[in-house]
């Protein structure tokens, strides 16, 4: 079981709710993925006026935990205000904290991220920070009160997969007891299996599922890949070797003159 701020979660797949062709397709993806947590952007859906309220009600009916996010925020005050609004709407202290610093890569502004995290944790929020794979930034976020980290493996929506496995491996080794959820950049189930084999605790997906030809089927495929990756990590996969190693013993084999 995955422990996130004292809540036990069986599924290791978190699902975003943006960009689906329809609410029915979103609901099917949630069901087939067996996820227990969905993320919701308060800013994006609230901008829809009355349709935003209908969307929130549909999310509640899915029977899953809601992780509101501060997507689209570019500064500390903006992110903090959005988080407070989300807490009122969804009645949860959980918040996925995003503070974007670069318009092209959507890379987080790590300085503002740490400051916003410190403010929110002091006000009782349970922060899930979207961050880079930088160990120093991770340390600062933990010092700010975060008990979960959400590093990217590639820029949001690129579907590029893990661009720097060494950095991800180092992060896992450096924070062995911290829940680490890969957020952003995963495009294929094989990417998800790869990061789970590195020992990460969960994966957050949105574009890779919502943008698929069949989002429901893709959500189910990701769920299977994540489970397989976790099982492989627990089983202890072989590390790559520089030389060939025969699978059949050579000692005692028959010799013909």
96 is catalytic: yes
Catalytic, out of 84, 96, 147, 253 = 96
Residue indicated by tokens 């094989």: 190
Distance of CA 154 to the CA centre of its chain: 12
Q: How far is CA 134 from CA 55, 87, 153, 186, in A?
A: 35, 29, 11, 18
Residue 26 near residue 170 (C-beta atoms within 8 A): no
What burial letters (b/e) apply to 13-42, b meaning 16+ CB within 10 Å?
bbbbbeebeeeebbbbbbebbebbbbbbbb
Rounded to whole angstroms, the Cα distance separating 218 from 50 reads 30
What burial letters (b/e) apply to 120-148, b meaning 16+ CB within 10 Å?
bbeeebbbbbbbbbeeebbebbbebebbb
Catalytic positions are 96
């Amino acid at each position: 079981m995955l422990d996130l701020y004292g809540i036990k979660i069986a599924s290791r797949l978190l699902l975003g709710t943006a960009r689906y062709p329809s609410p029915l397709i979103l609901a099917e993806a949630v069901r087939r993925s067996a996820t227990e947590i969905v993320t919701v952007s308060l800013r994006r859906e609230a901008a829809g006026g009355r349709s935003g309220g209908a969307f929130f009600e549909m999310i509640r009916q899915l029977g899953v935990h809601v992780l509101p996010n501060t997507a689209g925020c570019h500064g500390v005050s903006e992110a903090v205000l959005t988080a407070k609004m989300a807490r009122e709407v969804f009645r949860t202290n959980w918040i996925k904290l995003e503070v974007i610093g670069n318009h092209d890569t959507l890379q987080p502004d790590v300085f503002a991220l740490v400051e916003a995290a410190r403010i929110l944790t002091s006000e009782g929020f349970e922060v899930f920070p979207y961050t880079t794979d930088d160990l120093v930034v991770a340390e600062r976020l933990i010092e700010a009160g975060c008990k979960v980290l959400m590093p990217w493996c590639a820029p949001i929506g690129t579907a590029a997969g893990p661009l720097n496995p060494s950095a991800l491996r180092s992060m896992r080794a450096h924070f062995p007891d911290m829940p680490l959820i890969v957020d952003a950049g995963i495009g294929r189930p094989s990417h998800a299996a790869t990061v789970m084999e590195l020992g990460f605790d969960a994966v957050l997906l949105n574009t890779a599922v919502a943008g698929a030809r069949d989002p429901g089927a893709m959500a189910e495929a990701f769920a299977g890949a994540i489970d397989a990756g976790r099982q492989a990590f627990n089983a202890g996969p072989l590390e790559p070797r520089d030389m060939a190693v025969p699978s059949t013993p050579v000692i005692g084999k028959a010799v013909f003159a």
